[in-house]
Chains A and B, each alone.
Chain A
Amino acid sequence: MSRLSVRKTYKLYIGGAFPRSESGRSYPVTSPKGEFLANASQASRKDARDAVVAARKAFPGWSGATPYNRGQILYRVAEMLEGRRAQFAEESAPVRQGGKRAALEAVDATVDRLVWYAGWSDKIAAVRGAANPVAGPYFNLSSPEPTGVVAIVAPADPLLGLVSVVAPVIVTGNTCVVVASEPSPLASITLAEVLATSDLPGGVVNVLTGRQAELAPWLASHMDVNGLDLTGVADADLALRCEQAAAENLKRVLRPAQEDWTADPGIGRMTRFLETKTVWHPVGI
């Protein structure tokens, strides 16, 4: 007996749930060759606002969790991704060059990237923190703290690029709102399914699909967003407008850049969204 094919509805990922866009809109996603793949939700600015609310709500719990715990959860995400290796390869094969083999390699690289960042969770403080020598009877300690809610415009690479921008932001305790790649958003929603089943608290990562030019300016000007990663913005004019809007409440901004996602990432993406807290403490007698 033949089966009816079960078509997947790609929705948004906000606060740990998978809602449709508040606007009810969707847009067709096609492969570079022009074949229809699926419909994705086209998020509106209200969805962006809801996502920021969810990210803000998740921030105290996530930033207050121990670094060890955050590392464990990121490692768990890598485990879950490993288990869905074939699905991700199949889903991203039509939208990338090199076919199935290259897609599988990209999934493996993504898992490795997550494991790499997971290991940093309890080490970044040792690298970026300091016991400062001062001329007085005090301990003077500096420690890196997460900056808050970070809005991320994800790069075009549908899986490795996405994880390479999201993992460094959340591993240090930030929460984020991600605008997925506009032409290839499907892997980001499947990744959200992995996140939703990996002990990652709802709201730590929120994924919006839709028009970059429609969503990014609202996130850039939002007064409750503390950081802005413009990596995926290809339009120089849009990037400039976002940077200007971000200045109003002094968001930390990462400018757009062409990056080789297979290269060693370094710690720059983590430290960009950290702020240093220094405390003076009297030495006991």
Chain B
Amino acid sequence: MEEEALVGDAVMVSTLTTSLADVAASGATLRAFLHGLPGVDRVGADQRAAMLGTRSIKTTAKAKAIDLAISMVDLTTLEGADTAGKVRAMCIKALRPGSDAPKVAAVCVYPDLVAVAAEAVRGSGVKVASVATAFPSGRSSLEVKVSDTALAVAAGADEIDMVIDRGAFLSGDYMKIFEEIVAVKAACGAAHLKVILETGELSTYDNVRRASWLAMLAGADFIKTSTGKVSPAATLPVTLIMLEAVRDFRDATGRQVGVKPAGGIRTTKDAIKNLVLVNETAGDDWLTPEWFRLGASSLLNDLLMQRQKLATGRYAGPDYFTLD
């Protein structure tokens, strides 16, 4: 099964090198390219993800994995009830999650709270990410999406998490999405662009692979599974398919794209399964906070609790960790 997948990928790469330059010349070529991608073996992807999920990571390896996972967390709050005070408190936690624990990679907030977050983490190396483009549904005009992005960038966002128009994707209007991503990327300026595919609404693994390639072709710096507002969110097979896509994309073009599973990753075990998946699929080039992130809020406390368990030898309790 694994070999079949590899054979499929080799075919894909060879067709790519001839056609990638002008693949987005028109809606028809883009569509032909995306539908020409090899199909995903659904059973094989599920099995491979499940098999990699059984790896046993213990003691010192576990301690390292926990610290690596903490340093990859995009600490997120995306609620209607968010306040400046809550964002500030979260930023303090992001800078110093626990005694001698590493800093998280970034904080992720709504555009109107970017200024607050940027002020709170200034000079620390922790990035400020902002969702934009009519998050989470993406149902608005391109004009609104671009000014939403510009607002967040002007307020000091280092990274923009945009959503794609799933309605357009499912009805086959790939060019619309391509152009939207290009326009938002232009509005980002120096900020990194993460494109949220919302895989829970794409219905098939084939669509996940197509959407991944579509986003990368249009210039995404990161591809991200989900908004966290739709269930299922970041399942392991979906992350596996996206990791395969970024690996093949780098082979074809030389450009490296990051991956961010988000939503539904709540336990240390989930986080470590994701790290195993990265190492076994894309390779350890991706095993840094620069190229792999975990979008999460409650995950961080579980990582800290496991970390304390390793340090003290007693099971930790949530009473001793801050609520986000």
**Chain A interface residues toward B at CB < 8 A:** 49, 52, 56, 218, 221-225, 245, 248-249
Contacts and interface: CB of A to CB of B under 8 A. Distances in A.
A224 B314 contact: no
Interface centre among B313, B319, B320, by most chain A C-beta atoms within 10 angstroms, is B319
Contact of A245 (B314, B316, B318, B319): B314
25 contacts: A49-B315, A52-B315, A56-B318, A218-B315, A221-B313, A221-B314, A221-B315, A222-B314, A222-B315, A222-B317, A223-B314, A223-B315, A223-B316, A223-B317, A223-B319, A223-B320, A224-B315, A224-B316, A224-B317, A224-B318, A224-B319, A225-B317, A245-B314, A248-B314, A249-B317
Contacts of A49: 315
Given A222-B315, A223-B315, A223-B316, 11 more contacts: A49-B315, A56-B318, A223-B314, A223-B319, A224-B316, A224-B317, A224-B318, A224-B319, A225-B317, A245-B314, A249-B317
B59 to A, nearest CB: 15
A246 to B, nearest CB: 11
Contacts of A224: 315-319
Interface centre among A223, A225, A249, by most chain B C-beta atoms within 10 angstroms, is A223
Contacts of B316: 223-224
A49 B317 CA distance: 11
Interface centre among A49, A56, A224, A249, by most chain B C-beta atoms within 10 angstroms, is A224
A98 B110 CA distance: 72
Interface centre among B314, B315, B317, by most chain A C-beta atoms within 10 angstroms, is B315
A248 B315 CA distance: 12
Interface of B: 313-320
Contacts of B320: 223
A204 to B, nearest CB: 19
Contacts of A222: 314-315, 317
Nearest to A49: B315
Nearest to A148: B319
A245 B315 CA distance: 11
A49 B267 CA distance: 14
A56 B305 CA distance: 16
A191 B315 CA distance: 28
Nearest to B318: A224
Contacts of B313: 221
Contacts of A56: 318
A225 B317 CA distance: 8
A127 to B, nearest CB: 29
Interface centre among B313, B314, B319, by most chain A C-beta atoms within 10 angstroms, is B314
A248 B319 CA distance: 13
Contacts of B317: 222-225, 249
A224 B319 CA distance: 7
Contacts of A218: 315
Nearest to B308: A223
A24 B313 CA distance: 23
A221 B315 CA distance: 7
B269 to A, nearest CB: 11
Contacts of A52: 315
Contacts of B319: 223-224
A57 to B, nearest CB: 11
B308 to A, nearest CB: 8
A248 B313 CA distance: 12
A245 B312 CA distance: 12
B301 to A, nearest CB: 12
Interface centre among B316, B317, B320, by most chain A C-beta atoms within 10 angstroms, is B317
A206 to B, nearest CB: 15
A170 B322 CA distance: 28
Nearest to A245: B314
A134 B319 CA distance: 33
Contacts of A245: 314
Contacts of A221: 313-315
A225 B315 CA distance: 10
